[in-house]
Amino acid sequence: MTVAPTLAIPSPAASLFHTATGTAFIDIEIEGHRETWPVRGKQLRAWLRRSYYEETGGALGSGTIRSMVDLLEARAQFDAPERTIHVRVAEHDGRIYLDLADKEWRAVEISPDRWRVIGFPPVRFRRAAGMLPLPVPQKGGSIHALAPFLHLPSANDFALTVAWLLAALRPSGPYPLLAVAGEQGSAKTVLSKLLKALIDPNTAPVRALSREQRELMIAAHNGYLLAFELSSLPVWISDALCRLASGGSFAVRQLFTNDEEVLFQAARPILLNGIEDVISRPDLGDRAIFLTLTPIGEAQRRPEAELWREFEIARPRILGALLEAAVHGLRALSRVQLDRLPRMADFAVWATACEPALWPAGTFAQAYAANRRAAIENIIEADPVASRIRAIMANRTIWTGNASDLWLLCSEEVPQGISRGSGWAKNPRTLAGRLRRAQTFLRSLGIEVTFSREGRTGSRMITLSTRAESCVSLVRTAPGNGSRGDPAIHAGME
Rounded average pLDDT over 218-233: 86
**174: preceding bond cis by omega (within 30 degrees):** yes
Rounded average pLDDT over 278-284: 73
Q: Domain 377-466 classified CATH 3.30.310? A: no
End-to-end CA distance of the chain: 66
pLDDT score recorded for residue 485 = 39
Which 3-state string (H, E, C) describes 367-407?
A: HHHHHHHHHHHHHHHHCHHHHHHHHHHCCCCEEEECHHHHH
pLDDT score recorded for residue 315 = 98
363-382 and 428-444 helices cross at what angle (nearest 10)? 150
Task: Compute and round to an integer the Cα radius of gyration of the chain.
Answer: 26
pLDDT score recorded for residue 115 = 98
Q: Is the dihedral of CA 156, 90, 208, 205 positive or negative?
A: positive
Q: How confident is the model at residue 486 (pLDDT cuts 50, 70, 90)?
A: very low
Q: Is residue 71 scored above 60 in pLDDT? A: yes
pLDDT score recorded for residue 276 = 65
3-class DSSP state of 160: helix
**pLDDT tens digits along 354-370:** 999 999 988 999 999 89
Q: What percent of the chain has pLDDT over 70?
A: 84
Q: How confident is the model at residue 266 (pLDDT cuts 50, 70, 90)?
A: confident
pLDDT score recorded for residue 480 = 38
Is 274 in contact with 181 (CB distance < 8 Å)? yes
Cα–Cα distance for residue pair 247/489, rounded to 1 Å = 27
Q: Which residue has the higher pLDDT, 344 or 456?
A: 344
Q: Which residue has the higher pLDDT, 88 or 257?
A: 88
Residue 219's CB: how many other CB atoms inside 10 A?
18
- Residue 192 makes CB contacts below 8 A (sequence gap 6+) with 180, 205, 206, 227, 229, 271, 273
Rounded average pLDDT over 28-32: 90
- Residue 89 makes CB contacts below 8 A (sequence gap 6+) with 96, 97, 98, 99, 168, 169, 170, 171, 224
Q: How confident is the model at residue 5 (pLDDT cuts 50, 70, 90)?
A: very low
* Side chain identity, residue 403: A
pLDDT score recorded for residue 251 = 61
Cα–Cα distance for residue pair 261/252, rounded to 1 Å = 5
3-class DSSP state of 490: strand
Cα–Cα distance for residue pair 274/189, rounded to 1 Å = 9
Best mean pLDDT range from 25-29, 209-213, 287-291: 25-29
pLDDT score recorded for residue 487 = 40
Q: How confident is the model at residue 419 (pLDDT cuts 50, 70, 90)?
A: very low
Give 264-267's long-range contacts (Cβ < 8 A, gap of 24+): 264/217, 264/220, 264/221, 266/220, 266/221, 267/172, 267/173, 267/174, 267/175
Burial class (CB in 10 A: 0-12, 13-18, 19+), 147: middle
Q: Is residue 76 scored above 90 in pLDDT? A: yes
pLDDT score recorded for residue 11 = 45
Topology at the third CATH level for domain 143-319: Rossmann fold (3.40.50)
Is 35 in contact with 99 (CB distance < 8 Å)? no
Rounded average pLDDT over 259-265: 61
Q: Is residue 135 scored above 90 in pLDDT? A: yes
pLDDT score recorded for residue 407 = 86
Q: Where in the chain is the domain with CATH 3.90.1150?
A: 377-466
